[in-house]
Amino acid sequence: MPDLTTTYLGLKLRTPLIASASPLSQELDGIRRMEDAGASAVVLYSLFEEQLYREHHELEYHLFAGIDSFAESLTYFPQPGEFHTGPEEYLNHIRKAKQAVDIPIIASLNGATLGGWTSYARQIEKAGADAIECNIYFLPTKLEFSSAEVEQVYVDVLRGVKISVRLPIAMKLSPFFSSMANMAKRLDAAGADGLVLFNRFYQPDIDLDELEIKPNVLLSTPDALRLPLTWIGILYGRIKACLAATSGVHRAEDIVKLIMVGADVTMLCSVLLRNGINHLRHLERELRGWMEAHEYDSVQQMKGSMSQMHCQDPRAFERAQYMRAVKDLTYVRT
Query: H-type helices in 70-146, by residue range?
Result: 88-100, 114-127
Closest alpha carbon to 267 in 300, 241, 298, 244: 244
pLDDT in tens, 199-214: 877 678 898 998 998 8
Beta strands in the chain (DSSP E): 6-8, 11-13, 17-19, 41-48, 105-110, 131-135, 169-173, 194-197, 205-207, 212-214, 242-246, 265-268
Confidence label for 194 from pLDDT (cuts 50, 70 and 90): very high
Contact of 54 with 118, CB cutoff 8 Å: no
Contact of 273 with 22, CB cutoff 8 Å: yes
Torsion of CA 87, 88, 89, 94, to 10 degrees: 90
Domain at 6-303: CATH architecture: Alpha-Beta Barrel (3.20)
Task: Count the Cβ atoms, other than its own, within 10 Å of residue 163.
Answer: 10
Contact of 21 with 106, CB cutoff 8 Å: no
Strand partners, 314: none
pLDDT in tens, 49-69: 545 444 433 333 333 344 343
Provide the mean pLDDT of the chain.
85
pLDDT in tens, 116-165: 788 899 999 999 999 999 988 777 788 998 999 989 989 999 999 999 99
Q: Is the pLDDT of residue 219 over 90?
A: no
pLDDT in tens, 264-310: 999 999 999 999 999 999 999 999 999 999 999 999 999 999 999 88
How far CA 310 is from CA of 234, 239, 295, 313, in Å, comes to: 10, 15, 19, 8
pTM: 0.84
